[in-house]
């Protein structure tokens, strides 16, 4: 993974008001920490950071002029509506050092017709060298039939990387698609449990007067 250089400024103002002023200037407040050093509070250019973090495990070179820090994103806070970055926690790393990161799963191929592909875990934790973090793992479901499963141990890892989760963690589950009758039955059951009542069908309405007449004659 290539290093992405981002210019930074030392941040001396703190609090919500200061953070709002920083964001109005299209910048992002951030913190660098790790290796037993005191946290370094910085301000980063918002647009450059957003582009860099399109990959959640981007390797960043934070340029403070006299100091440069190699870092990876550890926690990124985004606006829930607009999606812009509000704050970033960056972990300082060193070349050759290994870190545990979550790497996304990309499914490729198609299972046999009539089956559903269930992605049970969209990411998988691995331990990898900080300068060689995989961007993603491709997992093929081509030709798989109902009942097939793919576990963490089935994913091919690059050299220098290892699983940081249980090898039996279920990643993909192939299940037979339900029939139309099964879908309707499950929907009806769910609606019944929720207390949803349906209007009587034409057949039920036609039968109702006859039932009432029989009841009257019985009296």
* pTM of structure: 0.72
DSSP-derived pairing of the beta strands 136-140 and 115-119: unpaired
Please report, in tens digits, the pLDDT of each residue of the chain (219 residues total): 668 999 999 988 778 888 888 888 899 999 999 888 889 999 999 999 999 998 878 999 999 988 899 999 999 999 888 888 999 999 999 988 999 999 999 999 999 998 999 999 999 999 999 989 998 999 999 999 999 999 999 999 998 899 999 999 999 999 988 777 777 777 887 878 787 776 655 555 555 555 554 545 545
The pLDDT, as a whole number, for residue 212 is 52
% of the chain residues with pLDDT over 70:
88
So what's the pLDDT on residue 65? 86
* All domains in the chain, ordered by first residue: 3-93 (2.40.240.10), 99-176 (2.170.120.20), 181-213 (no CATH)
Bridge partners (DSSP) of residue 105 are: 137
- Cα separation, 154 vs 168, whole angstroms: 9
Question: How much is the pLDDT for 208?
Answer: 58
Closest Cα partner for 136 from 122, 150, 152? 122
CA dihedral 28, 7, 135, 152 (to 10 degrees): -60
Residues 6+ apart with CB under 8 A from 160: 128, 129, 132
């Amino acid at each position: 993974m290539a290093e992405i250089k981002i210019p930074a400024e030392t941040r001396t103002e703190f609090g919500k008001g200061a953070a709002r002023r920083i964001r109005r200037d299209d910048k992002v407040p951030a913190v660098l920490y790790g290796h037993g050093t005191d946290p370094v509070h910085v301000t980063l250019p918002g647009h450059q950071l957003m582009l860099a973090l399109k990959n959640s495990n981007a390797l960043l070179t934070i340029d403070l002029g006299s100091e440069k820090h190699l870092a990876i994103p550890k926690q990124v806070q985004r606006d829930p509506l607009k999606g812009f970055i509000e704050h970033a926690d960056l972990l300082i790393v060193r070349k050759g050092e290994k870190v545990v990161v979550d790497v996304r799963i990309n499914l490729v191929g198609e299972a046999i017709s009539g089956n559903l592909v269930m992605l049970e875990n969209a990411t998988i934790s691995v331990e990898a060298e900080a300068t060689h973090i995989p961007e993603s793992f491709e997992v093929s479901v081509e030709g798989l039939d109902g009942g097939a499963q793919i576990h963490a141990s089935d994913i091919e890892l690059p050299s220098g990387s290892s699983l940081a989760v249980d090898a039996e963690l279920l990643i993909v589950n192939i299940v037979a698609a339900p029939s139309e009758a099964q879908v309707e039955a499950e929907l009806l059951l769910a609606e019944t449990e929720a207390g949803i009542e349906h209007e009587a069908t034409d057949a039920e309405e036609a039968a109702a007067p006859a039932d009432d007449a029989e009841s009257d004659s019985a009296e």
